Amino acid sequence: MTKKIEPKENGLTVQYDSILGDISKLIDGARRSAARSVNCVMTAAYWLIGKRIVEFEQSGEKRAAYGEEMIKRLAADLSFRYGRGFSISNIWQMRAFCLAWPILQTVSGESEGMEIPQTVSAESLFRTAAGK
C-alpha cells in the first residue's frame, strides 16, 4: 500500500475528499459486482460440470462400477490442472447439484417427466460459464 498524500492547499481538501469518496464508492461497487458475477458464473460452471458427469455416467452400461473411479480420476486431474476446489467430495457435490436442481423451461415440462433445456436467461449464463 502506498503512503497517503495530503493536499498542500486547504481550499481543495473538501473537493478532494468529495472526489476521493466518489471514486472509492465506484471501486467498491465494481468489486462487489465483480464478485457477484464471478460467483454466478462459477455456480453455473459447477452445475455444468455435474451435468457432464451425469451425462457421461448415463451413457455407460456399468456406470456404478466406473463412476467412483471416474470421480477420483477427475478430482486428481482437475486438482493438478487448477489447484484447490476439485477434491473428490467437491466433484461428487457438483454431480449432486445438477441432479438436485434440474433446469426446466416450464412447469408443464416437469410434470410430463421431461427435462427441458434451460431457460433463455439461464442458457446465456451457462454458455458464458462454458466459454461458448
Which DSSP state fits 61? S
Every domain of the chain and the residues it spans: 11-101
Consecutive sets of 10 residues in the chain, 132 residues long: mean pLDDT of each? 60 82 94 92 93 84 69 95 94 93 59 44 53 56
Q: What is the rounded end-to-end Cα distance, in angstroms, of the chain?
A: 38
What pLDDT does residue 116 have? 38
Nearest partner of 96 among 40, 38, 57, 41, judged by Cα? 57
